[in-house]
Amino acid sequence: MNLDQIKATITTVPDYPKPGIQFRDVTTLMQHDAAFKACIHHLAARFDDLKVDKVAGTEARGFVFGAPLAMALSVGFVPIRKANKLPRAVIRQEYELEYGKDMLELHRDAVQPGDRILLIDDLLATGGTMLATAALVRQLGGVVEDAGFVVDLPALGGRARLQEAGIRCHTLCQFEGD
């Protein structure tokens, strides 16, 4: 399945979560077995030559794409969670949302100094969540140079923000607008 066919399985929901937003719903891609499998295949092919020690996925859809990608790359998977979801000692990173703040956490022993970590999430919008994810990994001495996404919304500027932070972005498809 090619990238245009994968993109065609993503549903656009108008005016969600508020008027004027065109929400790109990847759950329809995940429900389509051939598209989901192809998505992981394309991501794995993109990162196969990259020296990666672990894949880190940000809650929640980063888990969905990150865990099978880690398996395909034969590396471990690191979950980045919302606050108060991890049972052992954690580090925390606060980040800005459109209307407020949120917090991400990472187990203190999940990343060792020098580990090369590939960041994965379903969608790149403003880049705020992924910048917080990268900050967590880097606090533990991990090396973050690459991030992968299924969808990029270029109009929201996330790619530029990540590139300014030294992170190369790789996406499977783009949608114009918000």
Q: Check if the beta carbon of residue 91 is closer than 8 Å to that of residue 66.
A: no
Does the residue 3 lie in any domain? no
Answer whether residue 118 is part of any domain: yes
Structural domain contains residue 5: no
Is residue 178's pLDDT more than 70? no
In a domain, 158, yes or no: yes
The answer to whether residue 37 sits within a structural domain is no
The total of structural domains in the chain comes to 1
Confidence band for 177, pLDDT divided at 50, 70 and 90: confident
Is 81 known to be catalytic? Answer: no
Domain coverage including residue 95: 48-174
Active-site pick, 59, 81, 88, 98: 98
Closest CA to 53 of 120, 142, 121: 142
Residue % of the chain over a pLDDT of 70: 98
Active-site hit among 46, 59, 61, 138: 61
Q: Give the CATH number of the domain where residue 78 resides.
A: 3.40.50.2020
Q: What is the pLDDT of residues 69-78, one digit of tens each?
A: 999 999 999 9
Rounded Cα gap, residues 3 and 37, in angstroms: 12
Tokens of 1: 């399945």
For residue 106, the cross-strand partners are 91
> In this structure, is residue 137 part of a structural domain?
yes
For every residue of 69-117, DSSP letters joined together read HHHHHT-EEEEEEETT--SS-EEEEEEEETTEEEEEEEETTSS-TT-EE
Annotated catalytic residue 94: no
Strand partners, 80: 58
Is 124 a domain residue? yes
The model's pLDDT over 37-95, given as tens digits with 9 standing for 90+, comes to 999 999 999 999 999 999 999 999 999 999 999 999 999 999 999 999 999 999 999 99
Question: What band does 148 get if pLDDT is binned at 50, 70 and 90?
Answer: very high
Residue 17 counted as domain residue: no
